[in-house]
């Protein structure tokens, strides 16, 4: 049995707490909202984020973060990505350097353009770190639907340790050394999922979505390689796997928000309708700025950014994408072969 502190009790945090408890680990969850804590303790259900799912009695829920951190071997960061820095700064004096940090948030910090591992390294430079990502809707994991994810760490020992803790008969965990690729894959797919939702909101069909997803994964890999990731990671669970599930499922907040925008709602109206954090909105801004900073061409990201932050008409964005300069499909990988073709 491992003592685990789970920081953040949204749908994914709650699902992972139940998974880890079912794996016979001792799990405490920290939730900022005292009223939500009281409701969960009374109903044994996270009615706001994961209604209808029973939370086992042995999972402790509290709004006192010190109780969740104290005496734990592993800490899971399951807050929205934009809250990670604040929470770590507040709690860093409580965290011991031997405690393993596992991040399950998916996003890139606005302004600094840092990935979560870079934020953790700034604040907790001595703690072992891993990121867990992949196609994994909370609503399915808690119902024991077979799911596969990947855990990445620069230290093989840490990756295997986390793999052993999370692995179950219905939750398969692979390991990877590519922290950059896994973090970027989990973050950037949310941008493309917004685009997939917008496409659905415009009543475009499967052809459109297939094109968007295929060209989207190329954009993701293009930026990833420039930032030091292994391009093969984007062909795996944290890349194309997570992209597929996020672009096609109604469990996806990013896709649902995109649908509402495609149907004519403003960004603010769409977010209000979803009622939960839509990670892709902030990540779109960071990704657009990262592409510019690294001189990487990302036309889909650019158009989604201009729709969200520039008020651009979505139909004009589609026309812009379709009428871009003619290209060879595999120009990124076949540059030498097609030079004289």
Residues belonging to the active site: 189
CB 194, CB 284: distance < 8 Å: yes
Nearest to 19, CA basis, from 176, 185, 145, 106: 145
- Measured between alpha carbons, how far is 36 from 49 in angstroms, rounded to an integer? 10
Helix, strand, coil abundance in the chain, percent, nearest 5: 50, 15, 35
Residue 55, SS3 per DSSP: coil
CB 50, CB 15: distance < 8 Å: yes
Residues 6 or more apart whose CB falls under 8 angstroms from that of 280 comprise 190, 191, 193, 194, 254, 257
Where does the chain have alpha helices with state H?
11-22, 34-43, 65-69, 84-91, 116-123, 138-141, 156-166, 179-201, 206-226, 242-248, 253-262, 267-274, 279-293, 299-310, 314-322
- Measured between alpha carbons, how far is 181 from 202 in angstroms, rounded to an integer? 31
Question: For the chain, how far is it from start to end, CA to CA, in angstroms?
Answer: 61
DSSP 8-class letter at 234? G
CB 69, CB 91: distance < 8 Å: yes
């Amino acid at each position: 049995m491992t003592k685990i502190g789970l920081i953040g009790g949204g749908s994914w945090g709650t699902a992972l707490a139940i998974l880890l408890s079912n794996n016979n680990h001792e799990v405490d969850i920290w939730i900022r909202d005292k009223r939500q804590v009281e409701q969960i303790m009374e109903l044994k259900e996270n009615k706001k984020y994961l209604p209808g799912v029973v939370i086992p009695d042995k999972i402790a829920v509290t709004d006192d973060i010190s109780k969740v951190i104290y005496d734990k071997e592993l800490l899971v960061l399951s807050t929205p990505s934009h809250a990670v820095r604040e929470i770590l700064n507040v709690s860093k004096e409580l965290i011991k350097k031997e405690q393993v940090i596992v991040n399950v948030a998916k996003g890139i910090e606005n302004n600094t353009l840092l990935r979560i591992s870079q934020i953790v390294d700034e604040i907790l430079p001595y703690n072992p770190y891993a990121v867990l990502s992949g196609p994994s809707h909370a609503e399915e994991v808690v119902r024991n639907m077979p799911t596969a994810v990947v855990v990445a760490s620069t230290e093989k020992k840490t990756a295997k340790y986390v793999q052993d803790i999370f692995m179950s008969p219905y939750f398969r965990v692979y390991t990877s050394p590519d922290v950059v690729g896994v973090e970027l894959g989990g973050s950037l797919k949310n941008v493309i999922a917004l685009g997939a939702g917008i496409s659905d909101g415009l009543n475009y069909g499967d052809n459109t979505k297939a094109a968007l997803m295929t060209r989207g994964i190329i954009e993701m890999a293009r930026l990833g390689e420039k930032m030091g990731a292994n391009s093969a990671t984007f062909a795996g669970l944290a890349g194309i796997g997570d992209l597929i599930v996020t672009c096609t499922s109604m469990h996806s907040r990013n896709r649902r928000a995109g649908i509402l925008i495609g149907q004519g709602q403003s960004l603010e109206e769409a977010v209000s309708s979803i009622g939960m954090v839509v990670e892709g909105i902030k990540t779109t801004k960071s990704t657009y700025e990262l592409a510019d900073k690294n001189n990487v061409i990302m036309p889909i990201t650019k158009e989604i950014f201009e729709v969200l932050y520039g008020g651009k008409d979505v139909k004009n964005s589609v026309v812009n994408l379709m009428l871009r300069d003619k290209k060879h499909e595999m120009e990124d990988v076949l540059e030498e072969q097609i030079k004289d073709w």
